[in-house]
């Protein structure tokens, strides 16, 4: 539930401490070991996820508790598609590390993306649990999901998971789906996974159990409810009353786990958890956004809001509140989703739809057109490179694709991503890196190249520790960890743009430069005005500014050649990327020009309007 709560999961030392108490609770048949978020998060804060999985699974195996992982089919453990040989290695590595069950899903429910994973898992000696990504639309009916489940079983799935990732599945319909699966395959295990936020989950648990469901995903305080699962105490009491045989719970151990979880939050994890993630919210029913994505969204939303309010301040407008942004975002998701073919809102497509909606909101706030910034990964979804969309594209999207010279793809998505392990082996050899026990380091590098390099260099840990220190300082100063004012702005003075940094004193100060009088309106706090100091003038050469907050990369993968100082670029040429909200946003050259300076180093965080490159 950590991924659904916020940005990070516990460190290895914390996981090892809490495992014995979880075992003592006596109520869990299975425990999740890892998944897309888990693997990347470990790398982000400078830990090796392979070591983490091995240490985490060991005590559960000793206690006879099965462990399971969540994988994204074609995407493996990341947001973008993975070569077939890397996918195959994935299951061998995780089985060797101690993971028993592979819960495989495709965000588009495209069987072509799931079927290979069923085979890979079984070849590695794992239990293959194939998941139905549940959403509610005119396309996604009880019959649709029943037929999908039966076909996955024909491909060899050992179990079926009803993955109600947003918790918006309607209880009665979910019960019908489970009943239909059990009618055809009474002995095949069925698992139900749901998030609590929209409020249906407890009723849904009861309905699927009545229909014959075998396993229920549950959570506990202080991570249950809201963007997490329903609480295990509630579910146990409800199911006992309904006459089901359920395990007893050791309350002494329960309180120990609860206390340790709170301790981990107080250590650093709580710095990345929005208090609103604990709340139930029926507004989530309409956009259908999943709990895991909402957790990371709320953690990152303050910077998105800051960017929007920077833009508003420049135009003399009042700042937008977080609730206002959420409503705008939810409304835009409802507009975008049917127009891009009703992809089930689960990773990575929930992020794609949300990112597309948020980019639309941000761009329209800046006076630009809707659909003016669509990341390449999102285009891959729209054009069919990630799988077959359940619904039809809207004419406006088709026209946008045609205008950009983009063509649809109808073949097997895996064919777009050729084998790559030999290439990564060669690169690791050149760097002097070992392939690791059971080739696990090779797998990690091939699955997450950029994050792995940042981990190996020590940059990831350094950046993480700096971010924790910054957040702790902000929390101490403001009481809630939210910065009161922007750190930088781009100011237009008589038609000339200036990059300025913003500094703050303990006392109110006057604005020390000729900027619009409303520049300080970005902050809702009236007591202090920011003092502005000119940092870089744009008159000395053309500057490419970041259109959004994120991490800067010159290339997205090793197949690309990075631009360098002295290169001549053409207007419209992709010259770098901003990785934001788990997608790589291509940044194009704005002129025919020569690169004179690359201001930012690869992997560094940038704010909106930060200078990325300079040109002559």
Rounded to whole angstroms, how far apart are CA atoms 451 and 445?
A: 8
CA 352 to each of CA 49, 244, 345, 347, 512: distance values in angstroms, whole numbers, following the listed order: 25, 40, 9, 8, 41
When pLDDT is cut at 50, 70 and 90, the band that residue 20 belongs to is very high
pLDDT of 505: 41
Neighbour tally for 266: CB within 10 Å:
10
Sign of CA dihedral 428, 431, 437, 443: negative
- Write the pLDDT tens digit of every residue in 356-365: 888 888 888 8
Q: Which residues does 299 contact at the CB level (< 8 Å), separation at least 6?
A: 6, 7, 272, 273, 274
Rounded to whole angstroms, how far apart are CA atoms 607 and 215?
A: 44
pLDDT of 342: 93
Cβ–Cβ < 8 Å for 584, 380: no
- Write the pLDDT tens digit of every residue in 165-186: 889 999 999 999 999 999 999 9
Residue 33 has pLDDT above 80, yes or no: yes
**Neighbour order of strands in the sheet with 605-606:** 583-588, 574-580, 550-553, 605-606
pLDDT of 345: 81
3-state helix, strand, coil in the chain (%, to 5): 45, 15, 40
Rounded to whole angstroms, how far apart are CA atoms 543 and 408?
A: 34
Rounded to whole angstroms, how far apart are CA atoms 599 and 595?
A: 11
In this predicted structure, which of 53-62, 189-198, 577-586 has the lowest mean pLDDT?
A: 577-586
**Neighbour order of strands in the sheet with 611-615:** 542-545, 611-615, 593-598, 568-569
Q: Which residues does 38 contact at the CB level (< 8 Å), separation at least 6?
A: 3, 9, 49, 52
Cβ–Cβ < 8 Å for 99, 373: no
Give the position of tokens 């994050």: 451
Give whichever of 202-216, 290-304, 395-409, 474-488 has the largest mean pLDDT.
202-216
Cβ–Cβ < 8 Å for 531, 511: yes
Per DSSP, helices labelled H in 274-389 are 291-314, 322-339, 349-365, 376-383
- Candidates 578, 603, 596, 600; CA nearest to 588 is 578
Residue 536 has pLDDT above 50, yes or no: no
Averaged pLDDT for residues 508-517: 36
Token pair for residue 81? 């598609």
Q: What's the residue count for the chain? A: 616
Three-state secondary-structure class, residue 141: coil
Averaged pLDDT of the chain = 85
Work out whether strand 550-553 and strand 574-580 pair parallel, antiparallel, or are unpaired. antiparallel
> Class of 541-616 per CATH?
mainly beta
**Domain 10-268 architecture:** Alpha-Beta Barrel (3.20)
pLDDT of 192: 98
- Write the pLDDT tens digit of every residue in 358-387: 888 888 887 888 998 888 888 999 999 999
Residue 341: Cβ-neighbour burial (10 angstroms; 0-12, 13-18, 19+): buried
Q: Which residues does 64 contact at the CB level (< 8 Å), separation at least 6?
A: none
Residue 92 has pLDDT above 80, yes or no: yes
Residue 164 has pLDDT above 70, yes or no: yes
Indicate the domain borders of the chain. Answer: 10-268, 286-407, 484-535, 541-616
Averaged pLDDT for residues 181-202: 96
Three-state secondary-structure class, residue 537: strand
Cβ–Cβ < 8 Å for 423, 416: no
Residue 508 has pLDDT above 50, yes or no: no
When pLDDT is cut at 50, 70 and 90, the band that residue 531 belongs to is very low
């Amino acid at each position: 539930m950590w991924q659904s709560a916020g940005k990070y999961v516990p460190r290895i030392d914390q996981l090892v401490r809490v495992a014995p108490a979880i075992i003592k609770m006596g109520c869990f048949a299975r425990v999740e070991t890892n998944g897309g978020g888990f693997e990347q998060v470990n790398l982000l804060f400078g830990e090796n996820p392979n070591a983490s999985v091995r240490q985490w699974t060991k005590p559960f195996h000793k206690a006879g508790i099965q462990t399971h992982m969540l994988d994204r089919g074609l995407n493996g453990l990341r947001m973008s598609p993975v070569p077939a040989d890397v996918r195959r290695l994935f299951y061998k590595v995780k089985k060797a590390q101690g993971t028993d069950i592979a819960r495989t899903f495709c965000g588009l429910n495209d069987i072509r993306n799931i079927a290979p994973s069923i085979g890979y898992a079984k070849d590695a000696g794992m239990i293959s649990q194939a998941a139905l990504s549940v959403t509610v639309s005119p396309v996604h009916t009880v019959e649709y999901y029943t037929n999908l489940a039966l076909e996955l079983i024909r491909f060899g799935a050992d179990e079926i998971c009803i993955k109600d990732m947003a918790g918006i599945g309607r209880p009665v319909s979910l019960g019908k789906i489970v009943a239909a699966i059990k009618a055809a395959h009474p002995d095949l295990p069925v698992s139900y996974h749901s998030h609590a936020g929209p409020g249906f989950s407890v009723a849904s648990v009861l309905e699927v159990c009545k229909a014959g469901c075998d396993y229920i995903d549950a959570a506990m305080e202080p991570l249950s409810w809201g963007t997490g699962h329903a609480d295990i105490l509630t579910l146990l009491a409800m199911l006992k009353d309904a006459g089901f045989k359920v395990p007893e719970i050791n309350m002494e151990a329960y309180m120990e786990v609860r206390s340790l979880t709170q301790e981990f939050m107080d250590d650093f994890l709580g710095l990345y958890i929005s208090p609103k993630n604990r709340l139930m919210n029926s507004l989530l029913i309409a956009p259908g956004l999943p709990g895991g994505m909402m957790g990371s969204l709320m953690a990152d939303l303050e910077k998105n809001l800051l960017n929007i309010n920077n833009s508003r301040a420049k135009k003399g407008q009042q700042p937008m509140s977080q609730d206002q942004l959420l409503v705008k975002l939810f409304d835009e998701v409802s507009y975008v989703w049917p127009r891009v073919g009703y992809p089930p809102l689960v990773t990575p497509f929930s992020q794609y739809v949300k990112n597309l909606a948020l980019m639309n909101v941000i761009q329209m706030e800046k006076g630009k057109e809707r659909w003016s910034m669509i990341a390449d990964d999102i285009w891959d979804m729209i054009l069919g490179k990630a799988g077959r969309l359940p619904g039809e594209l809207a004419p406006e999207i088709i026209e946008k694709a045609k205008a950009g010279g983009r063509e649809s793809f109808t073949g097997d998505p895996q064919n777009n991503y050729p084998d790559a392990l030999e290439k990564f082996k060669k690169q690791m050899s050149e760097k002097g890196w070992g392939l690791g026990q059971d080739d696990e380091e090779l797998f990690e590098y091939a699955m997450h190249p950029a994050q792995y390099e940042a981990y190996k260099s020590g940059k990831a840990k350094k950046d993480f520790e700096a971010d924790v220190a910054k957040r702790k300082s902000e929390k101490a100063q403001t009481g809630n960890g939210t910065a009161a004012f922007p750190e930088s702005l781009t100011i237009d003075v008589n038609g000339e743009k200036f990059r300025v940094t913003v500094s703050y004193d303990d006392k109110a100060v006057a604005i020390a430069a000729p900027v619009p009088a409303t520049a300080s309106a970005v902050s809702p706090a009236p007591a202090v005005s920011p003092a502005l100091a000119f940092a870089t003038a744009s008159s000395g050469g053309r500057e490419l500014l970041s259109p959004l907050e994120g991490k800067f990369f010159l290339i997205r993968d090793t197949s690309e050649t990075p631009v360098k100082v002295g290169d001549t670029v053409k207007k419209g040429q992709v010259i770098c990327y901003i990785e934001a909200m788990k997608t790589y946003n291509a940044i194009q050259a704005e002129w025919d020009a020569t690169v004179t300076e690359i201001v930012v180093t690869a992997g560094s965080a940038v704010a909106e309007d930060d200078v990325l490159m300079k040109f002559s």
